Amino acid sequence: MKVVLSTLFIVLVAAFGSQAQTFTEETNQYRNHYKEEFLHSDNSPLKAADLPYLQFYEPDSTYRVVAHFEKAKGKSFEMPTYSGMNKTYVKYGTLKFKVNGRRQKLTVYRSLSLQQLAKYKDYLFIPFKDKTNGADTYGGGRYLDLKTTDLKDGTCVLDFNKAYNPYCAYSTGYNCPIPPLNNHLAIAVTAGEKNFTKHHQEASIK
């Protein structure tokens, strides 16, 4: 019996280790792609020499959660940006989930201008703040992206390991939406992108 239990324990540990390794590999692969995107965007604030200054928390599956989605019938409104300009969004719905046993809620938005573009017609936007802002992470908050196709049967996977900085974290001169008060989390989300470790550059307003 001890031999059987020992064998089972080894198998379970190996399986768990494999899953953890796969998650880490997937997250790192995603981040490599994320960095590459800066080199192929016309209005990118970063060049190849800047990429080493991008910093991230270690991949943590604790911050990859299943969220329950509630669709909203929101009207369009103007979301302020850090440049002083506004961008038009509509409230698309609400995500409810738990992080480390604590209930959380985030509002999901949809850009009316991006919705008109075929490439971004399914694009959903989650600007948020948490207790790491101004310390480990950018003081102006971070963003998460989803697609309408990610919402299945009233749920979706919300992965804070994919939380990223607005362009304003790297350079002045961009219209970065300010996370609304209802998307200020009362927890520290120690996952995703951290502070950019190079001084800001100047850019034209975009």
pLDDT of 144-156, one tens digit each? 999 999 999 999 9
- φ/ψ of residue 186, rounded to 5: -90, 25
**Domain map (residue ranges) of the chain:** 53-198
pLDDT in tens, 38-82: 999 889 999 999 999 999 999 999 999 999 999 998 889 999 999
* The pLDDT value given to residue 11: 40
Per-residue pLDDT, averaged over 73-92, amounts to 94
pLDDT at position 110, please? 97
| Contacts (Cβ under 8 Å, ≥6 apart) of 57 | 136, 161, 190, 191, 192, 194
Beta pairing partners, 184: 129
C-alpha to C-alpha distances, 153 to 70, 109, 181, nearest whole angstrom: 11, 19, 28
Q: Is the pLDDT of residue 34 over 70?
A: yes
pLDDT at position 151 is 96
Distance CA 61, CA 49 (A): 30
Query: Which residues, 6+ apart, have CB-to-CB distance to 110 below 8 Å?
Result: 89, 90, 92, 123, 124, 125
Is residue 204's pLDDT more than 80? no
Phi first, then psi, for residue 126 (nearest 5°) are -130, 95
Bigger pLDDT: 180 or 43? Answer: 180
CA distance 81 to 102: 30
pLDDT > 90 fraction of the chain, expressed in percent and rounded: 77
- Give the residue, 4 or 153, on which the prediction is more confident: 153
51: nearest Cα among 206, 205, 204, 193 = 193
